[in-house]
Amino acid sequence: MQNSGNHYCRQIWARNANSAAVRRFAILLTLALAFLSLAAAPAIPSADPHRFLDDIKALTTPAMEGRGAGSKGLTRTEHLIEKRYKSLGLEPAGTNSYLQPFTVITGAQLKGKNSFAVLTGDRKVELKAKQDFVPFSFSASGSAHGPLVFAGYGISADEFHYDDYAGIDVKDKIVVVLRYEPPSFGEKGGNQGMTQHSQLVTKAINARNHGAKALVLVNGKLGDGEEDLLTRFGSVSGPENAGIIFLQVKNDVTEGWLKAAGKSLAELQEQINASSKPASFALTENQTAALTVSIVTTRATVNNVLAYLPGRTDEYVIIGAHYDHLGRGNFDSLAPSQIGQIHPGADDNASGTAGVLELARLLAPQKGQLRRGILFASFAGEELGLLGSAAWVRDPTRPLDKAVAMLNMDMIGRIKDQKVYIGGVGTGSTLKAVVEQASEKSGFKIEYSPGGYSSSDHTSFVAKKIPVLFFFSGLHSDYHKPSDTWEKIDPVAATRLLDVVGATLEQLADAEERPAFIVVAEDKPAGAPGGHGYGPYFGSIPDFGEVENGVKFSDVRPGSPAAKAGLKAGDILVQFGDKAIKNLYDFTDALRRSKVGDVVEVKVLRDGQPVTASVKLEQRK
């Protein structure tokens, strides 16, 4: 019995031991599976073309008014995005709930006294505002009184050996100039269009640099069927203040001034055009002008809309797009005859905005599952100069050093021939590999660009040494026109690209290591048209946030002339050679007037202190 009992006991012990082992194995297996579920969150579902297109339709309804800065339509759009983020259970990530407010300049208004009088001896002729004359919205406010001088086209162009100001004194005088430029400029420049010298801002800066008190523009020769119309106030782009009083007067008014000097506007213009030589002169001594311009700059408070999906750590990835557009067009419309009509901006950038909303919907269920959080950022003010993204990096609502990467979508809705453009792949050590893996089965023909600088919101982040990716489907003939409508969106192709963006985003949010930022020398942005721009190469990246005086650098391109001269991000350029720099237009004009190889003495303010440097300008490549 004892032997039998011992055998029974051994059987019981073995069974219990086996059960304990099974239990331990089951516990370990459960823990392992739990760990794996944390370490590798499930792949997000595919984007829905119908939802995507429905959001684009909602963003481009007439009630949204083209989402122009300061419009009720932009506020309605902001509320739509905020409501969506809230409904998905995403956390508010603005300074005030989901919103981050900032101020933008939306335009200008004529206020108070705006007058123009011409005095010939004892005779005074008063012109009527908006009938005989109109100020430009970027004119300085103030009064001027002085003799009149005709200065041709108001151009100083060394490359064409042409200068309307040569041999004539315009200091403290009122200068009258023609619109456009001599036809020989286009012929000598080898193109059919106008050069930069025809631009109104260039004319204003040139007159100011020659010491004029005010500049008066006239249309001059008209085309067949063309009327002598005054420019609508606010319809021409320029700085907030060009630093000189600048207005337009009708041809017949100017003809009266010239007649007293025995001249004719048509004859003068014909003479200049035929000879390609200036015909500037001072009008009769007893003829002067007195004028006053009063302009009030209009501003509005707009909001970035920001939401957060928490991860397991305090690091995060940003997915963003701008939701503003052109409103009813104004100066930035590429359909000037349709200014005043709503520019719906279906591709630019309702498509990117709808993409962010769709990715927010797909990722919201993964709260707390990814290694890193995700910041969903809908930016305002992009069309005014990347102002929303600039406001965020200047005053971030989450710690900037915890941002692992920024993914930007701007115009993703009209993919043609399966070709898409992805920029910024060189700005992070792992970005190219991540994107290639995410797009492996997409069927797209992808054109990559390593650099992260271009005219969209990711530029604000690469300037802060944050790796970026820029997703873009290319330009088209409806860009910045009322014809950019939802019917032209290809939602199936766009959501296939969204799947690539989503897979990229998820990989970056869940990777063990964050990508290291890499400085990339200047390159052609993905999808950018050809051409090298105007003037020689300097190499600074402007900060489009408001600076009272000068041009602030958000960054300086590596290896550029500015970098070689020791200029840095945060510097404020206030002097370029002998030219004072008050704004970006001044800087652009000064650079255009320089030559490759010139060594220019510049002055910047660095932490409030003046710093001088010698910059040797190079050829654009």
CATH number at residue 222: 3.50.30.30
Q: Strand pairing of 599-606 and 609-616?
A: antiparallel
Does the residue 462 lie in any domain? yes
pLDDT digits 0-9 by tens, 431-479 = 999 999 999 999 999 999 998 777 899 999 998 999 999 999 988 889 9
Q: Strand pairing of 142-150 and 174-178?
A: parallel
Place of tokens 């403290």: 172
Domain of 32, in residue numbers = 1-39
pLDDT digits 0-9 by tens, 541-552 = 777 666 778 998
Percent of the chain topping pLDDT 70: 88
Whether 25 and 161 share a structural domain: no
For residue 440 the two structure tokens come to 């492996």
For residue 256 the two structure tokens come to 């009266």
Q: 0.75 exceeded by the pTM?
A: no
Please say which residue of 293, 314, 333 terminates a domain: 293
- Give the per-residue pLDDT at 297: 84
Please say which residue of 246, 267, 293 terminates a domain: 293
Question: Is the per-residue pLDDT at 228 higher than 80?
Answer: yes
Mean pLDDT of 346-359: 98
Q: How confident is the model at residue 252 (pLDDT cuts 50, 70, 90)?
A: very high
More confident residue, 101 or 591: 101
Does the residue 528 lie in any domain? no
- Give the per-residue pLDDT at 319: 98
Number of structural domains (the chain) is: 4
Q: Strand pairing of 115-120 and 287-293?
A: antiparallel
Whether 348 and 463 share a structural domain: yes
Does the residue 521 lie in any domain? no
Mean pLDDT of 140-161: 93
Phi-psi region of 284 (alpha: psi -120 to 50; beta: other; left: phi over 0): beta
Question: Is the per-residue pLDDT at 18 higher than 60?
Answer: no
More confident residue, 384 or 20: 384
Whether 55 and 28 share a structural domain: no
Whether 136 and 19 share a structural domain: no
| SS3 (DSSP) at 152 | coil
For residue 298 the two structure tokens come to 């209009």
